[in-house]
Amino acid sequence: MASKKQIILPCVVLLGGIASAIAFSSMQTPPQEKPEKIIHPLVEVAPINTSSLQMSVGSYGIVKPKYSTQLVAQVSGQIIELSDEFVKGGFVKQGAILARIDPNDYEAALIDAEANLAQASSALEIEQAQAHVAKTEWERIKNNANSTIPSELYLRKPQLAEKLARFKAAQASVKRAKRNLERTYIKAPYDAIIDTRSLSLGSVVNQGSSVGVLNAISVAEVRLPVADAELQHLNNNGIDAAVTLTAKVAGKEVNWQGKIVRSEGVIDSRSRMTYLVAQVERPYDNEQKPLRFGAYLNAQIKGKLISNAVEIPHHLVRDGQVAIMNDDKTLSFKPLNIVREYDGLVVVDQGLESGQSLITSALEYPTEGMQLRIDDDTLSQASTQLALKEE
């Protein structure tokens, strides 16, 4: 068994150690308490400036003539003349003679018709004279006749009607012969550019044979596909709207001004687009920048004018709201009336005012009334940009 001494001695040593530790701890100076420092989120802002915004709808298309005509021969014969302008790409005026069919047979037919007309005219005059004599004779003898009504045959009315019919037929034959003779000239129906030519000098054509294709240069048309949702941004669904057409000519970008004249009125079954038709007057008049048929164009159709509009990057809008920084550097959410979304931008016309600061940097957990901080240089730069825009 352990003695009392063996039990008491360890207890005394333990109590002594505890007392020493308490004495030393009481002698240490407590650490000085520091005030808690709160760091607010650092953000970037951009000034908001509302202004009137002219909406436009983009499209594209290929230039085509409003009128395109396939010329055909109206009479048969051999081509004996061919205009130097009657070549692919050549420009011709209205009424210009493009080719001539051999007229000899048609001149002979006209002479024959005129001769028949002369004979019919002579026979008609003789019959009219004979009818007059018959009528006079009847007037002289009617008092002695048993009947007071002469027969039409006696008055030569059937004979006169026959001669009159032959005379009119002869007139028609002359008219037809003159028309066929005139048709030996193949003429341009309007100011045009030659698209194709289907004959050569010495060719023999029949009635209905293709001669060539002409494109009118008075008006050019461009079919512009527009999504149904985009029509809401155009006045009157785009009818009568101005349109700017853009293409490259000789490596340089060139613009033309046109006008939307009509809608095709249906939605294309494949593309689900509505087609608007733009027209450009006299596309080839400007020799420096002709609007050539077949050219591919980009188009901007002038749309509605939006007041107090602001364009905001799409990624800054969440649930129809954006975050702004107030004058006291707190965060607020502003609900927006979104008018349009396009090209990564959102157009709004309600919810924001000039002078407000739009938060453009990302925040992990933004909350209403959150205290923010901003770099002084950034704030100064934003204020300068706003002042320049207002000027």
Tell me what percent of the residues of the chain surpass a pLDDT of 70: 81
DSSP state of 354: T
The class (CATH top level) of 68-101+185-217 is mainly beta
Which pLDDT band, with edges at 50, 70 and 90, does 36 fall under?
low
Q: Are 193 and 98 in contact (CB under 8 A)?
A: no
Q: Mean of the pLDDT values across residues 368-376? A: 83
Q: Are 134 and 155 in contact (CB under 8 A)?
A: yes
pLDDT at 12: 63
Of 319, 347, 350, give the one whose Cα is nearest residue 337. 350
pLDDT at 145: 53
Q: How many angstroms separate the CA atoms of 45 and 356, rounded? A: 9
Q: How many angstroms separate the CA atoms of 162 and 266, rounded? A: 59
Q: Are 299 and 246 in contact (CB under 8 A)?
A: yes
Paired strand residues for 359:
45
Which pLDDT band, with edges at 50, 70 and 90, does 360 fall under?
confident
pLDDT at 298: 95
In angstroms, the Cα distances linking 278 to 43, 54, 221 are: 48, 20, 6
Q: What architecture is domain 57-66+219-304?
A: Beta Barrel (2.40)
pLDDT at 244: 96
Q: Mean of the pLDDT values across residues 147-152? A: 58
Q: Mean of the pLDDT values across residues 85-104? A: 94
CA angle 256, 261, 266 (to 5 degrees): 120
Q: How far is CA 32 from the centre of its chain?
A: 77
pLDDT at 296: 94
Q: How many angstroms separate the CA atoms of 38 and 181, rounded? A: 103
Of 352, 350, 358, give the one whose Cα is nearest residue 382. 358
Q: Mean of the pLDDT values across residues 25-49? A: 71
Paired strand residues for 301:
57, 243
Q: How many angstroms separate the CA atoms of 312 and 233, rounded? A: 18
DSSP state of 229: G
pLDDT at 116: 92
Find tokens 């333990």 and name the residue: 14
Q: Are 76 and 206 in contact (CB under 8 A)?
A: yes
Query: Domain boundaries in the chain?
Result: 45-53+307-390, 57-66+219-304, 68-101+185-217, 103-183
Is the pLDDT confidence value at 70 over 80?
yes
Q: Are 227 and 271 in contact (CB under 8 A)?
A: no
Which pLDDT band, with edges at 50, 70 and 90, does 261 fall under?
very high
User: Looking at the domain 45-53+307-390, which fold is it?
Assistant: 2.40.420
Looking at this protein, which amino acid is placed at residue 173?
S
Those residues with Cβ within 8 angstroms of residue 41's Cβ, 6 or more apart along the chain or in another chain: 363, 370, 372, 373
Q: How many angstroms separate the CA atoms of 151 and 156, rounded? A: 9
Which pLDDT band, with edges at 50, 70 and 90, does 16 fall under?
low
Those residues with Cβ within 8 angstroms of residue 170's Cβ, 6 or more apart along the chain or in another chain: 113, 116, 117, 119, 120, 121
Q: Which residue has the higher pLDDT, 14 or 367?
A: 367
Tell me what percent of the residues of the chain surpass a pLDDT of 90: 48
pLDDT at 42: 87
- Strand 373-374 and strand 42-43: pairing? parallel
Stretch among 104-118, 169-183, 251-265, 341-355 having the lowest mean pLDDT = 341-355
* Mean of per-residue pLDDT scores for the chain: 84
Domains 45-53+307-390 and 68-101+185-217 alike in fold: no
pLDDT at 157: 74
Q: 181-219 pLDDT, tens per residue? A: 999 999 999 999 999 999 999 999 999 999 999 999 999
Is the pLDDT confidence value at 150 over 70?
no
pLDDT at 383: 46
